[in-house]
Structure 1
């Protein structure tokens, strides 16, 4: 089947894409929405926004959200977040839903690889698969329809475009608007990165629907546990290293340190951005232990392309200003490699 990929809002070929999409929706009674492993604010918010929209437009269809693993409490205030199915905690039920699905929406990832243990289940499913995303270079062969807008701030912004081009903006109520605003706020770090004039235009329209932006900001950025605050103080005072020669800052966090501070999913959210608050720092990296690998998050300002760097050296990718990767070496070796690669990358 022909794929349709759109990178700029003016290049949408709505007739072909949306005729296929409507065909998929009309013949699908069981719909599953899936996002990536370690779901962040944009992943959860865009999934819930799509859920509310589809439930409002198609009242008689069965719609479920499945994520690979749990997500942080600072997102659990969103309406219906308690109905999200956590695959790692409900494997049998999740497998049953995916097998029954006629249509799977994939949000905020560009490759099935990013869905962790769900990857093979989704690929083997006979359901039609629709991608709504903003990451570069989607794995085209994995999806039946692709709505990918790299210039967008977030998958939540692309979801707004999706609803807009469907001609259904009238269906955007406070619940949907709140999800879109939360996703955009989260992925732009409260509009400090990855936002443009179109993002702010959409946010302006969303706020007019009645979103309480103070409530969203409070829940996203000012509702941390005491342990999380102590962990933040610890990484700032003990774990952050600065390399002025490269305008670089990095933070690392071991499994033992996470245990010491009663680490919960999402507690290290934004740690990759912390060094960027220091004058003249334009590149930052955050390294943290997972079971079988070191997860690395990269952030940048100026001309450093975090996406290219992650792709070239750490089997990753993302955006120019924010990307991620993995290393299967230990923490010390990973950081040594990183510093060597930074020097090589900058010199070239």
Structure 2
């Protein structure tokens, strides 16, 4: 039995299924969760999604009402974990990535299934699908549906959030993680009825005035270029975020904007939130991997060209630390 047929058998044998994903929700974590939920529902099974925190505002065009939030509905989330006889762990590879749900996940005695595409997965689940060459976890959910023999169930309700997950985790199809298989998956989603132009429209034509003003301020006033290393850095303090009525997700595209500057190889954006600096790293090329820097100095990690981390230092001290580390990790332009 292949692993996807095994997972499908577990779904069919379960009575109460819970889908989990990582804190700081993004397009892939929300997309793969909703796509899997709608697939399981079509199999006639009871399923709930439990996430640590809300999705960014720009994803609310999706119906996120099936998602229970630990930071808003802890009693309902706890009850879901207690009833669960099967738990899916989507788009994360370590129990520490689920924030305040960690204790619930660790204490759950039911079978757990990981489906993920990040490096170095922890061996806490019973079944592990870890495909680091996949573009996204949403792509792997399509593999699950197809590999388990239920591809006839794929429709636009299942496919739309999965298309979103692939779209966002590949940087709108620009990252090296886009492989021939990814294009095949996208074709299947379009054939299933996904209106791809509407996904792009809902995702990209969804700015607020305050979001655009914050991004304009960040690019015009806060952007720092280390020309000799072709690195762009943007630091934003909590006061600056508050001035522009920051909402979750408002700075998500800043690193890609900075990386789009002609000649830039690396972009680093960090914002002061919840008492720490949350850092996004983006880069181009295999020789400019940023996940090692994130892991070795900022308690983070991720993909070679897209990683995250955090710092408990002040804005200025974090900026100084990054400046000092850049020459150690990236070659000087001759």
The TM-score, its normalising length taken from structure 2, stands at 0.95
String of CA shifts for 1:215-250, please: whole Å, max 9, x gaps. 100111121111111111111101111111111001
Q: CA deviation at 1:292?
A: 3.1
- 1:343 to 2:327 alignment: yes
- Are the counterparts in 2 of residues 186 and 220 from structure 1 also a CA contact under 8 Å? no
Q: CA deviation at 1:18?
A: 4.2
- 1:44 to 2:30 alignment: yes
**1:168 corresponds to which of 124, 139, 150:** 150
- Report what 2:256 is aligned to: 273
Helix, strand or coil at the partner of 2:189: helix
- List alignment gaps of at least 5 residues for structure 1: 1-14
- 1:328 to 2:322 alignment: no
Which stretches of structure 1, 4 residues or more, deviate above 3 A after TM superposition? Answer: none
**2:14 corresponds to which of 12, 28, 35:** 28
- Report what 1:56 is aligned to: 42
String of CA shifts for 1:117-152, please: whole Å, max 9, x gaps. 111111111121111111111112x21111111111
- Report what 1:258 is aligned to: 241
- Are the counterparts in 1 of residues 155 and 194 from structure 2 also a CA contact under 8 Å? no
Q: CA deviation at 1:174?
A: 1.0
The TM-score, its normalising length taken from structure 1, stands at 0.91
Correspondence 1:1-348 to 2 at 5 A: 15=1, 17-18=3-4, 20-57=6-43, 59=44, 61-79=45-63, 81-140=64-123, 142-193=124-175, 194-302=177-285, 303-346=287-330
Q: Give, in whole Å, the separation in 1 of the partners of 2:6 and 2:181.
A: 27
Q: Give, in whole Å, the separation in 2 of the partners of 1:338 and 1:120.
A: 33
- Are the counterparts in 1 of residues 229 and 331 from structure 2 also a CA contact under 8 Å? no
String of CA shifts for 1:295-344, please: whole Å, max 9, x gaps. 11111112111122211221211001100111111111111111211211
Q: Give, in whole Å, the separation in 2 of the partners of 1:278 and 1:213.
A: 27
Helix, strand or coil at the partner of 1:238: helix
Helix, strand or coil at the partner of 1:109: coil
- Structure 1 residues 82, 310: closer, same or farther in 2, change over 3 A? same
String of CA shifts for 1:267-288, please: whole Å, max 9, x gaps. 1111111111111100110101
- Report what 1:8 is aligned to: none
Q: Give, in whole Å, the separation in 1 of the partners of 2:266 and 2:75.
A: 43
- Report what 1:11 is aligned to: none
Q: Give, in whole Å, the separation in 2 of the partners of 1:49 and 1:266.
A: 21
- Structure 1 residues 200, 17: closer, same or farther in 2, change over 3 A? closer
Helix, strand or coil at the partner of 1:138: coil
- Are the counterparts in 2 of residues 76 and 82 from structure 1 also a CA contact under 8 Å? no
Q: CA deviation at 1:78?
A: 2.0
Q: Give, in whole Å, the separation in 2 of the partners of 1:18 and 1:157.
A: 13
